[in-house]
Structure 1
Amino acid sequence: WERAAEGRAEEGPVLANFNQFYKVDSAAFDDWMAVLRAVNGSQLWLRSEAAPTHAALRRAAEAVGVAGPRLVFARWARTSQEHIARGTLADLSLDTPLYNSMTTGCDILWSGVPLVTLPSLNMV
């Protein structure tokens, strides 16, 4: 797996979140955008969903001063082994505090990527 082949920048940190989008609330998204604004060259690598979702999230990023192309979307992994392997391209994973990740969090940790999370009573 190589960053360029997955659409990741060769330079700069890649922050990732592969949770389903219903777990991402506006507070988490705002926090992520603040990190992107503060860290030059960083990208946010998200789970792939429908193209209209990509466009909407990029517009939301641009509305708060983050260039839309800094949000990139993972292609669908055909196997769990592919999913774990591609995770190694991230530098840091950001959890969704509204509903903490479980399997997705374990997957990214299995990839050897640290996961930043907050305590929460909600888990899906």
Structure 2
Amino acid sequence: VASLDDSGCAERIRADRLHLCIDLSGHTGGTRLPVFALRVAPVQATWPGYPDGTGLAAMDARFTDAMADPPGEADTRHSEQLVRLPGFLCQPVRREAPPVAPLPAGASEFVTFGCFNHLAKLSDATLALWADVLRAVPRARLLVKARGLERPLAAQRLRERFHAAGGEFRNLVLEGATPDSASHLTRYGAVDVALDSIPYNGTTTTCEALWMGVPVITLPGSAFCGRMGQSILRTLEYDQWIARSQDEYVSIAAQLATQPQLIAEYRRTMRQQMLDSPLCDGRQFTLDFESVCRRMVDQVAS
């Protein structure tokens, strides 16, 4: 349907007589929200490529969970009904991933904090928070890896912003994109502790870090985009890395920096904990998702 205009696409989908049609793009590149606005199925829902509601009267539901969108406070902000799954995310097993690397702090005199989130998520508030972390842990550095930082102008701009936020150039290491997924995941071997961004958390990168044995510290915000880290960590029962304030975020980072043996133990056990958790249980996630979808369709049909 990529070559069809909105009306043609809607007509084509209606001909298939779907019971449920799910949008995966929201207000992002390549979106077909105008097709959903034309109502192509009795039940229309959105999930999770865009971390917010669509604002469409014709979009009936948005899939989420109670940790990312707490009942009550989140419902009033959406035009869609919030349909809460046990967890909003199912993380596939990363079979291309290399083995978990030894703790880098064990072979050096400093602790390496890191973040591989999208460059657009690195807000001024994020950089200021990270500068506070590095002040609290003087023998530490920060490795930031993101597509775009291979360009000198983009890297220089981030250095300038970090300095303006109170950080020091000597503590900041920047890396750009790597050629493939395996080499990207390998770079987590250089990170002791990952620092999440605010107010827009990582999702894929948070799961990547955890899969590679790296603890992730997050600070929940008020909207779904700022609560994804909390949802992932609570699903894995790593509540101790969820901060309740910026001061606590810094405190958690500083405490972990002084406990290399504890970080090494997390590194040794974290991948198996993920495998044993609901986050990687694709079968159960599918059953839960199917059950919710059937219930939505049945409600419209009754």
Does TM, normalized by the shorter one, top 0.5?
yes
Match of 1:93 in 2: 194
Deviation at 1:71, TM superposition (A): 1.0
| Bigger CA radius of gyration | 2
Partner of 1:11: helix, strand, or coil? coil
CA contact (8 A) 2:128 2:167 kept: no
> Does residue 81 in structure 1 map to residue 81 in structure 2?
no
Give distance in 2, aligned partners of 1:80 and 1:44. Answer: 22
CA contact (8 A) 2:127 2:161 kept: no
Q: How does 1:24-63 map to 2 (within 5 A)?
A: 24-48=122-146, 49=149, 50-63=151-164
With over 3 angstroms needed to count, the CA separation of the structure-2 counterparts of 1:75 and 1:28, relative to structure 1, is closer
Letter in 2 for 1:10: S
Tell me: higher relative CO, structure 1 or 2? Use CA pairs within 8 A at least 6 residues apart.
Answer: 1
Match of 1:67 in 2: 168
Match of 2:82 in 1: none
Give distance in 2, aligned partners of 1:62 and 1:24. Answer: 14
Give distance in 2, aligned partners of 1:119 and 1:105. Answer: 13
Letter in 1 for 2:179: R
With over 3 angstroms needed to count, the CA separation of the structure-2 counterparts of 1:64 and 1:117, relative to structure 1, is closer
With over 3 angstroms needed to count, the CA separation of the structure-2 counterparts of 1:71 and 1:55, relative to structure 1, is same
Q: Which has the higher helix share?
A: 2
Letter in 1 for 2:224: N
Match of 1:104 in 2: 205
Which among 106, 116, 120 is matched to residue 217 of structure 2? Answer: 116
Q: Which runs of 5+ in 1 are unaligned?
A: 4-8
Residue deviations 1:21-51, cap 9 Å, x none?
Answer: 2112111110101111221121111124121
Deviation at 1:63, TM superposition (A): 3.8
CA contact (8 A) 1:92 1:113 kept: yes
With over 3 angstroms needed to count, the CA separation of the structure-2 counterparts of 1:119 and 1:64, relative to structure 1, is closer
Give distance in 2, aligned partners of 1:117 and 1:65. Answer: 20
CA contact (8 A) 1:98 1:122 kept: no
Give distance in 1, aligned partners of 2:212 and 2:178. Answer: 14
Give distance in 1, aligned partners of 2:140 and 2:118. Answer: 21
Give distance in 2, aligned partners of 1:65 and 1:84. Answer: 29
Mean Cα displacement is larger for which, 110-119 or 67-76?
A: 67-76
CA contact (8 A) 1:24 1:98 kept: no
Question: Which aligned segments of 4 or more residues in structure 1 are displaced greater than 6 angstroms?
Answer: none
Normalised TM-score (structure 2): 0.36
Normalised TM-score (structure 1): 0.81
CA contact (8 A) 1:58 1:69 kept: no
With over 3 angstroms needed to count, the CA separation of the structure-2 counterparts of 1:66 and 1:98, relative to structure 1, is closer
Number of corresponding residues: 119
Partner of 2:113: helix, strand, or coil? strand
CA contact (8 A) 2:128 2:166 kept: no
Deviation at 1:65, TM superposition (A): 4.8
Give distance in 2, aligned partners of 1:112 and 1:11. Answer: 20
Give distance in 2, aligned partners of 1:83 and 1:91. Answer: 16
Deviation at 1:87, TM superposition (A): 0.2
